[in-house]
Amino acid sequence: MSDSEPDNDLLDFLRQHFSKASIASVPETKVLEGAEYVYHNSIDVALDSQSTIAAAAMIYEQMQKKQYSTKTWQSHDFHPQALDASTVDFIFTMDLLNFSFWSENDEEERFAIEYQGKRCTGYKSLVAALQRALEEGIPITSSDFWQSEDECTIDVLRHVFRSATAEEIPLLRERFDCLQEAGEVLYEKYQCSFTKCIEAANHSAAALVNLLAENFTCFNDVFPYENRKNVRFLKRAQICVADLWAAFDGKGYGEFHDIDGLTIFADYRVPQILNSLGCLWYSPLLQSAVNQKKVIESGHSWELQIRGCSIWCVELIRREILRKHPDANINAILIDFFLYDLMKEREAAGQEDIPHHRTRSIWY
């Protein structure tokens, strides 16, 4: 064989080697990578380094004081307590429908669910509505139910989400479509069970996030930004995995060896609290739009900057906490849970001095 001729045996060996290496590669969601790109190319949202460092110290101190952990998840009103497949089904249903609860109406007039003597709004209204439906014998968490054109209708879903006020739940039709699509995908690919999706991910949080985004269009939260065609936010896909991890305390259906690789879930409340803490700064035009509660269209540059910079900001907070406290048992998920609860506490106490941005979409 001359020097100019290819060594086919060597080429075959290399092909097999790199093919195996590719198969064995660690899954990545690429959410953090996209968020960093948005941050570096953002002109309307900026991060304040000193406020971020101060926020990291406050967050760590408060999380230690409140003993924040996965167990905090089960302490929330109406979250399921059973450590079995019924909770898996509940969480999947919940995160299929976990989006867009904000209202332009006053607190007394906005969409709300009355359940067990409490009036619930926002995310809690979703959890309460699902629990109420199950008590009424409506199998709202069953994919078999979602597939039945006779049983699962838009009117049935309207009944499930019947409000204590005159305002209907936002995007009811879109929620109905999410359930129908999920039912079809589970039937065609996963033996009608979300537990099969979890098994397919082989205890990888990133793999399960990617599986959700690739197989269910309603989880594929991806947008073009500047010169990048696909910036992945994957809010609901990530929070679905995080909810499993928290509900099962990192065991059984919630066991993921790479859970610390997930980011925060870019929505309304985390940007709001980061803005309140001085970590996120908005351009005058954007700040004015937020203060006036103007609707920002889904996919608008402002919205993508808010979401991307929020993810990157909390990543810097996480790194700062671990720099000061290397042994801290902390990740972006727990920081997200804490910041969300903190903002809701401030809201309940009338300390919501800065509004959240308004974007109506299925992504959050």
What's the CA gap between 361 and 38, in Å, rounded? 20
**What is the pTM for the complete model shown?**
0.91
Q: To which H or E segment does residue 229 belong?
A: strand 228-232
Find the helix packing angle between 332-348 and 49-65, rounded to 10°. 90
Q: Which position among 44, 221, 267, 336 bears the catalytic label?
A: 267
* Alpha helices by DSSP H, the chain: 8-24, 31-40, 49-65, 85-96, 122-135, 143-147, 154-160, 172-189, 194-200, 205-215, 235-247, 269-276, 284-291, 301-324, 332-348
- DSSP strand pairing (222-225 vs 118-120): unpaired
3-state secondary structure of 113: strand
How are beta strands 280-282 and 228-232 bridged, if at all? unpaired
pLDDT tens string, the chain, 364 residues long: the values are: 555 565 666 656 666 655 544 445 789 999 999 999 999 999 999 999 999 999 999 999 999 999 889 988 988 989 999 999 999 999 999 999 999 999 999 999 999 999 999 999 999 999 999 999 999 999 999 999 999 999 999 999 999 999 999 999 999 999 999 999 999 999 999 999 999 999 999 999 999 999 999 999 999 999 999 999 999 999 999 999 999 999 999 999 999 999 999 999 999 999 999 999 999 999 999 999 999 999 999 999 999 999 999 999 999 999 999 999 999 999 999 999 999 999 999 988 988 889 999 999 999 9
Q: What's the one-letter identity of residue 117? A: G
Q: Copy the structure tokens of residue 228.
A: 């990048």
Instruction: State both tokens at 291.
Output: 């203060």
Alpha-carbon torsion (100, 101, 105, 110), positive or negative: positive
Element (H, E) at 232: strand 228-232
* Catalytic-residue membership of 267: yes
Q: Which long-range contacts (CB under 8 A, 24 or more apart) does 111-117 make?
A: 111/163, 111/165, 111/167, 111/168, 111/169, 111/170, 112/163, 112/164, 112/165, 113/161, 113/163, 113/164, 114/164, 115/78, 116/78
Cα gap 60→78, rounded to integer Å: 27
Both tokens assigned to 176: 């109905």
Which residues fall within 8 angstroms of residue 135, CB to CB, at 6 or more apart? none
Question: What are the tokens at 220?
Answer: 């594929």
Q: Report yes or no: 303 and 358 within 8 Å, Cβ to Cβ.
A: no
d(CA 229, CA 341): 33
Question: Which residues contact residue 249 at a Cβ distance below 8 angstroms, ignoring those fewer than 6 apart?
Answer: 70, 71
Sign of CA dihedral 330, 333, 334, 335: positive
Residue 326: other Cβ atoms inside 10 A? 7
Query: What is the identity of the amino acid at 129?
Result: A
**How many whole angstroms separate alpha carbon 239 and alpha carbon 126?**
15
Contact 310, 274 (CB under 8 A): yes
